[in-house]
């Protein structure tokens, strides 16, 4: 009991950091395992073997398969949000540059890796994951939808385009999600570069003075 009540000090910090690193190691192993075996067939033993750790250590950190899978889903959602938020923060302020940054962020090689695409596909295919995702991460989707609509509205104004920004933003989101799904499910998938060109071609259809299929037109 005394050890529990002892205040945190420098000596305990490495142990806490090690615990966080171990949890992340197990989440990464879960993503890889789901990509290979699918959601339903993934077991704690599979994850432990992928991570090179003991089954008991997986139990210690996550207790059950359901908790591990939930934490993995929440990690993927947070990783996706952090990726596009960072991309926007680093992009120039004009609306076209911001839209281009959002598109390119979706095809970042970390976010859009085969393992992560397969894991997302497995999670999306499980009905039991949807209430968890909506409860914990639904606000992320609303934030993203509002952001892309705001950017499209600014681009319509800046470029003098005759388009309904809300509808254009919805189409852009559907195209990006659809291309991801295509990459996940096609028997002979095309490259991330071709996927991004497909989305840029969609942007060019609405904003032809700012985009072509190669991306943002230099001005």
Q: What angle do CA 118, 215, 145 make, to 5 degrees?
A: 60
> What CATH number does the domain containing 27 carry?
1.10.10.60
| Alpha-carbon distance values, 192 to 5, 148, 158 (Å) | 52, 21, 30
100 and 19 in a single domain? The answer is no
The verdict on 53 and 78 lying in the same domain is: no
Q: Give 15's pLDDT tier (boundaries 50, 70, 90).
A: very low
Query: What is the spatial distance between Cα 196 and Cα 176, in angstroms, rounded to a whole number?
Result: 9
Residue 153 and residue 109 share a domain: yes
The residue-averaged pLDDT of 110-119 equals 91
Do residues 168 and 130 share a domain? yes
Closest by alpha carbon to 168, among 126, 210, 136, 139?
210
pLDDT reported for residue 63:
84
Tokens of 121: 């596909």
User: Residue 21 pLDDT > 80, yes or no?
Assistant: yes
- The verdict on 181 and 82 lying in the same domain is yes
Q: Are 168 and 152 in contact (CB under 8 A)?
A: yes
pLDDT at 12 over 80: no
């Amino acid at each position: 009991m005394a050890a529990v009540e002892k205040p945190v000090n420098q000596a305990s910090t490495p142990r806490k950091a090690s615990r966080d690193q171990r949890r992340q190691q197990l989440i990464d192993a879960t993503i890889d395992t789901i990509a290979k075996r699918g959601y339903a067939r993934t077991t704690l033993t599979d994850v432990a073997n992928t991570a090179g750790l003991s089954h008991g250590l997986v139990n210690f950190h996550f207790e059950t398969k359901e908790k591990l899978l939930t934490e993995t889903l929440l990690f993927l959602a947070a990783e996706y949000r952090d990726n596009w938020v960072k991309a926007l923060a680093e992009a120039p302020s004009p609306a076209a540059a911001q839209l281009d940054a959002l598109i390119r962020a979706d095809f970042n090689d970390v976010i859009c890796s085969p393992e992560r695409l397969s894991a997302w596909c497995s999670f999306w295919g499980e009905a039991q994951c949807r209430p968890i995702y909506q409860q914990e991460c639904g606000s992320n989707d609303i934030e993203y939808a509002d952001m892309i609509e705001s950017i499209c509205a600014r681009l319509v104004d800046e470029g003098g385009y005759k388009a309904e920004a809300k509808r254009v933003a919805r189409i852009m989101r559907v195209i990006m999600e659809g291309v991801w799904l295509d990459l996940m499910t096609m028997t002979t998938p095309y490259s991330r570069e071709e996927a991004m060109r497909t989305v840029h071609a969609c942007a060019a259809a609405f904003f032809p003075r700012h985009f072509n299929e190669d991306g943002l037109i230099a001005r």
